[in-house]
């Protein structure tokens, strides 16, 4: 009995101090391990005189319970301290100033392509694509362009081999050919993309962007072409009253062919699209030449339709008041920051006219 009291007092004292987990484990094993004090006392029970045995056993169980209880409390205390320390360390300091970060901008050409695609998709056009490196056949021959046509000239076209079989496409029109060769009519596509010509000054860069349009079916006429372009121009410039005229022209791949001008005026030194007595050429178009349809195995007696080609960079300059085309492709971050579009805040009203 005396031993029991000693053990109890000694370990109560120990457990009253500041301990870590490994110290507690040590105490556990000192008490309840194979040779632990409490374990040994249990083994002693048999040796105790019968008269005292019952008393001793019940006292021993009490001491065991009390010490075990103290150990459990201590372990919980330590775990709580650890959790609190962790919470304290990982606390977010909401008083810190925000970190500066730079958000990228959408290039005006990409923005304009998005706008054009969404306007045409509203009237049933889907988007087609073709490669920048084209073959001579798709870029010229299939488009009914004669061998002696000036567009084929070395001064105009970037050829990639001495035989002049591969080239950087000079327009997006070869996507018409690819689309019609790969599929069956009817066709209703637009094809935006990069195009290349050997040209460089304030309004020409060796690489520029066009969007091609093609609509072929059994009953498509020039009225549809006019309606489609008129709709597009109004939507794109977000102007209800816009003057548009078709001027006779020539392209080898269309017959008849036309160039389209829109009306504008200069107000306070700024170009205003819509009314006015000045004309600005913005695209070429026409009814697809029967020879082109024959080249892609489409029967011209059954199918016909229109095509058009629009200069995208020019449209972007007009809509967003950008004066020098060359700056588009100089990768000057300051320029992009000024003329580019915030990806999270693009103009939402560019589809505004029809809503």
Under the rule (CB under 6 A), what is the footprint of ligand DAH? 171, 173, 212, 251, 254, 284-286, 307-309
Distance CA 318, CA 312 (A): 10
Count the neighbouring beta carbons within 10 Å of the beta carbon of residue 174.
25
Report yes or no: 134 and 168 within 8 Å, Cβ to Cβ.
Answer: yes
Give 19 or 307: the residue with its C-beta nearer to ligand DAH. Answer: 307
CA distances from 162 to 143, 155, 158 (A): 22, 14, 11
Give 112 or 176: the residue with its C-beta nearer to ligand DAH. Answer: 176
Give 196 or 251: the residue with its C-beta nearer to ligand DAH. Answer: 251
Give 64 or 171: the residue with its C-beta nearer to ligand DAH. Answer: 171
Distance CA 112, CA 24 (A): 71
- Judging by beta carbons within 10 Å of its beta carbon (0-12, 13-18, 19+), is residue 270 exposed, middle or buried? exposed
What is the nearest approach in angstroms of ligand DAH to the Cβ of residue 155?
A: 16
Distance CA 209, CA 195 (A): 6
What is the nearest approach in angstroms of ligand DAH to the Cβ of residue 257?
A: 6
Give 114 or 255: the residue with its C-beta nearer to ligand DAH. Answer: 255
Count the neighbouring beta carbons within 10 Å of the beta carbon of residue 107.
18
What is the nearest approach in angstroms of ligand DAH to the Cβ of residue 258?
A: 8
Q: Which residues contact 326 (CB under 8 A, 6 or more apart)?
A: 202, 205
- Judging by beta carbons within 10 Å of its beta carbon (0-12, 13-18, 19+), is residue 141 exposed, middle or buried? middle
What is the nearest approach in angstroms of ligand DAH to the Cβ of residue 352?
A: 28
Give 212 or 313: the residue with its C-beta nearer to ligand DAH. Answer: 212
What is the nearest approach in angstroms of ligand DAH to the Cβ of residue 277?
A: 26
Closest residue to bound ligand DAH by CB? 309
Give 25 or 291: the residue with its C-beta nearer to ligand DAH. Answer: 291
What is the nearest approach in angstroms of ligand DAH to the Cβ of residue 322?
A: 21
- Tell me the β-bridge partners of 271: 266
What is the nearest approach in angstroms of ligand DAH to the Cβ of residue 154?
A: 18
Q: Tokens standing for 8?
A: 């109890």
């Amino acid at each position: 009995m005396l031993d029991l009291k000693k053990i109890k007092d000694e370990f109560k004292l120990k457990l009253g101090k500041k301990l870590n987990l490994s110290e507690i484990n040590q105490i556990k094993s000192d008490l309840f391990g194979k040779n632990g004090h409490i374990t040994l006392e249990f083994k002693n029970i048999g040796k105790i005189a019968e008269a005292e045995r019952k008393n001793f056993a019940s006292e021993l169980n009490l001491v065991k319970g009390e010490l075990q209880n103290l150990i459990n409390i201590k372990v919980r205390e330590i775990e709580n301290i650890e959790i609190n320390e962790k919470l304290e360390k990982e606390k977010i300091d909401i008083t810190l100033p925000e970190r500066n970060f730079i958000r990228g901008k959408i290039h005006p050409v990409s923005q304009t392509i998005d706008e054009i695609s969404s306007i045409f998709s509203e009237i049933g056009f889907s988007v087609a694509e073709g490669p920048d490196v084209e073959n001579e056949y798709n870029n010229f021959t299939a488009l009914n362009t004669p061998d002696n046509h000036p567009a084929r000239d070395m001064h105009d076209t970037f050829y990639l081999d001495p035989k002049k079989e591969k080239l950087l496409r000079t327009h997006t029109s070869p996507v018409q050919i690819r689309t019609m060769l790969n599929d069956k009519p009817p066709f209703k596509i637009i094809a935006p993309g990069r195009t290349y010509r050997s040209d460089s000054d304030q309004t020409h860069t060796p690489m520029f962007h066009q969007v091609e349009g093609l609509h072929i079916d059994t009953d498509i006429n020039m009225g549809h072409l006019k309606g489609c372009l008129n709709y597009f121009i109004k939507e794109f410039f977000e102007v209800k009253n816009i003057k548009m005229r078709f001027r006779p022209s020539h392209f080898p791949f269309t017959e008849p062919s036309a160039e389209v001008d829109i009306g504008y005026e200069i107000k306070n030194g700024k170009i205003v699209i819509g009314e006015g007595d000045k004309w600005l050429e913005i695209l070429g178009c026409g009814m697809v030449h029967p020879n082109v349809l024959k080249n892609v195995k489409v029967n011209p007696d059954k199918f016909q339709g229109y095509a058009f080609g629009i200069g995208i960079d020019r449209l972007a300059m007009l809509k967003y008041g950008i004066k020098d085309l060359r700056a588009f492709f100089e990768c000057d971050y300051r320029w992009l920051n000024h003329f580019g579009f915030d990806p999270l805040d693009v103009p939402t009203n560019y589809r505004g006219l029809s809503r």
